[in-house]
Amino acid sequence: DAGVIQSPRHEVTEMGQEVTLRCKPISGHDYLFWYRQTMMRGLELLIYFNNNVPIDDSGMPEDRFSAKMPNASFSTLKIQPSEPRDSAVYFCASSTGPQLFFGPGTRLTVL
Partner 1 sequence: AQSVTQPDIHITVSEGASLELRCNYSYGATPYLFWYVQSPGQGLQLLLKYFSGDTLVQGIKGFEAEFKRSQSSFNLRKPSVHWSDAAEYFCAVAYSGGGADGLTFGKGTHLIIQP
First CA to last CA distance, the chain: 36
Give 19 or 47: the residue with its C-beta nearer to partner 1.
47
Coil, strand or helix: which one is 45? strand
Tell me if 5 contacts partner 1 by CB under 8 A: no
Binding mask 47-66 for partner 1 (x = CB under 8 A): -x-x----xx----------
Residues 6+ apart with CB under 8 A from 87: 38, 108, 109, 110
Stretch that binds partner 1, among 11-19, 63-71, 72-80, 101-109 (CB under 8 A): 101-109
